[in-house]
Chain A
Amino acid sequence: MANMDKVDLLSLYRRMLLIRRFEEKSAEMYALAKIAGFLHLYIGEEAIAVGAIDALRPDDYVISAYRDHGHCLARGSDPGKVMAELFGKATGLCQGKGGSMHLVDLPKRFMGGYAIVGGHIPLATGLAFASKYQKQDLVTVCFFGEGAVPSGQAHEAFNLAALWKLPVIFICENNRYGMGTPVQRAVALYENVAEAARSYGIAAERVDGMDVFAVRALMRRVVDQVRAGQGPYFIEAMTYRFMGHSMADPSHGHYRTKDEVEEHRKRDPLVVLKETMLNQAQCSESDFKELEREVGEVVAAAVTFADESPFPDPASLHADVLVEE
């Protein structure tokens, strides 16, 4: 990793830092009751979204589940509009009708966050089906947790994707807990979740989800293959969520120990990346200070924008239930 491009690294770090600081601020805003409902934080998993999405073209499709802020921000959505959506404001990405779990940013080809576990995986195969049907060389990337792998809809989608060689990359973010249930108690093949995809003939491999380089390098290779029509791919990215399942769940709860969380925090993806940058890319502490300052300003501005934005007019309640002719 010697002679790594400093600009590239700073850019990767900045995107991961933006997600981290944005989510920390979201937690604060939740405590202040500016954000309500369910709020599932992505803290600890940033390297996956940033590493994977960095390998895509702007016209490729990205689709996610309910822990979707990181993917949306990594795709380049305006943090102000994302925060405003969490606040339920009219200026939000979805005009306040989606909320935390249903972010959509069509110009960024971010096709949404979906809150029924496993239910968006068939949608991803449909996006990929459409690219193939239209003879467009687009790739669809579908993020989900390991908790979605046992669901029937996931398996139906894996089979269709493999059967029709659809250009979709399934990224299983294995953070080891489906809500409060550890993977060992939910998935029979817990030691190798990727076997679920291999059983349909889908090429699969595991990657260190705490290492943004590893994720990006694998994705660059895989995206080319999938784009070339070689069929779907399944990536099991090993990670860990540092926070609870949602804001309703304390950070370590009764289903895991504080020691376990602390152990994983030693491999915090931002710390791992920063160490590499300090050691091998001629970066200095002042570079990081500058990034912290700049990202801090972006997040503060996002909160100000969200706070000062109006709530939706009740007159918009019935808008967009249907496409009006």
Chain B
Amino acid sequence: MLLSYREALNQAMREEMRRDSRIFLIGEEVGYYQGAFKVTKGFVEEFGPQRVVDTPITEAGFTGLAIGAAMAGLHPIVELMTMNFGIVALDQIVNNAAKIRYMSGGQLSVPLVIRGPGSAAHQLGAQHSQSLEAWFCHVPGLKVIAPATPHDAKGLLKSAIRDHNPVIFIEAQLLYGTKGEVGDGEYTIPLGQADVKREGTDVTLVAYSKMLLVALEAAEQLSREGLDVEVIDPRTLKPLDLDTIMTSVTKTGRLVIVEEGWRFCGLGAQIAESIYSAAFDYLDAPIVRVTGEDVPIPYSRPLEDAAIPDVPRVVTAVKSLCGAG
């Protein structure tokens, strides 16, 4: 079935909420407005305002409330209108959600999904354009997912909801309208399992979320120039499936990592370190990172474009790595 990313998320939550009455949705505009990005279209009609809970604009308060509810046995899905607002709730996410199980010696758990759109999307300005996944990945006690396709979005969101841990689920805003084939009926995708999106033998390209689409397009262009690119989507950023990346690198000997987030302390640095430690002998060239620039994302279109990786930059990076530049 051809579905949009938005519809796939809607379907995942709908199916899970029908299955388990402990699951409820909470956030700004999730109910009567049907979601700022219309991900929760039709939810309040089906599940009622008790389970589709509109909140005031108070991310710390309602995220904390959701954590408390999870401690008491419910399974909240918190929708952040954008992941940028997660910063407002960061005390709750980092100090409470991520730590409560550990601090209690395993007595308490926080089965919770915090989801919403991330990254830049056509001139939203610096405070609404951030890719904060590295922040969340840094904190022990959280799982972090950033699916790129409608199929992955549905299967991974269902797994996130069934997980007994706090899970940060990042949806790139520009992906909501993208379409893809989604499997019929019930399916889940295990967390922590990368996916080879395109097979190739010359170079490995790792990219997630919106950057996967950039990477796949770059791979197509490069194939016309005779380079056979393997593209891997980690899908789950934490826990990270390094085995799949490792297997690919041992085959190709070359690795390019693409991420929209800032370069300094970015996720790609972690992946590069892991591959250097475990597969150095297999590398035929240094690992290359294509990343967002270390600036607040600017408003003006040409400046915004300059701040974010695009297809030409990925193509150039791969070609120079492969000595074809």
Contact = CB atoms under 8 A, between A and B. Distances in A.
A133 B61 contact: no
Contacts of A95: 105-106
A321 interface: yes
A127 B67 CA distance: 9
A133 B102 contact: no
Interface in A35-80: 61
B69 A94 contact: no
Contacts of A129: 65, 68-69, 74
A158 B23 CA distance: 24
B103 A97 contact: yes
Contacts of B73: 130, 134
Nearest to A130: B72
A98 interface: yes
A157 interface: yes
A111 B61 CA distance: 18
A112 interface: yes
Nearest to A104: B104
A159 B96 CA distance: 20
Interface stretch (B50-58, B200-208, B258-266): B50-58
Given A126-B71, A320-B101, A160 B65 contact: yes
Interface in A133-175: 133-134, 152-153, 156-157, 159-160, 163
Interface string A101-141: 01011100001101010011111111111110110000000
Contacts of A325: 163-164
A1 interface: no
Given A123-B64, A130-B74, A133-B69, A323 B101 contact: yes
Given A126-B70, A322-B165, A112 B108 contact: yes
A160 B55 CA distance: 8
Contacts of A131: 72
Contacts of B62: 122, 156, 160
B163 to A, nearest CB: 8
A157 B102 contact: no
B103 A153 contact: no
B68 A127 contact: yes
Tell me which of B106, B109, B111, B141 has the highest count of chain A C-beta atoms within 10 A of its own C-beta: B106
Nearest to B60: A153
Contact of A157 (B24, B64, B109, B164): B64
Contacts of B108: 104, 106, 111-112
Contact of B69 (A93, A96, A126): A126
Contacts of A160: 55-56, 58, 61-62, 65
Contact of A159 (B61, B92, B141): B61
Interface in B36-86: 50, 55-56, 58, 60-74
A206 B279 CA distance: 66
22 contacts: A61-B72, A93-B105, A94-B105, A98-B105, A104-B104, A104-B105, A106-B107, A119-B95, A120-B96, A122-B61, A122-B62, A123-B71, A123-B96, A126-B68, A126-B70, A128-B68, A129-B69, A129-B74, A130-B73, A133-B74, A153-B61, A157-B65
Interface of A: 61, 92-98, 102, 104-106, 111-112, 114, 116, 119-131, 133-134, 152-153, 156-157, 159-160, 163, 319-323, 325
Given A106-B104, A127-B72, 11 more contacts: A97-B103, A105-B107, A123-B96, A125-B65, A126-B65, A130-B69, A133-B24, A152-B60, A157-B64, A159-B61, A320-B105
Interface of B: 24, 50, 55-56, 58, 60-74, 91-92, 95-96, 100-109, 111, 140-141, 143, 163-165
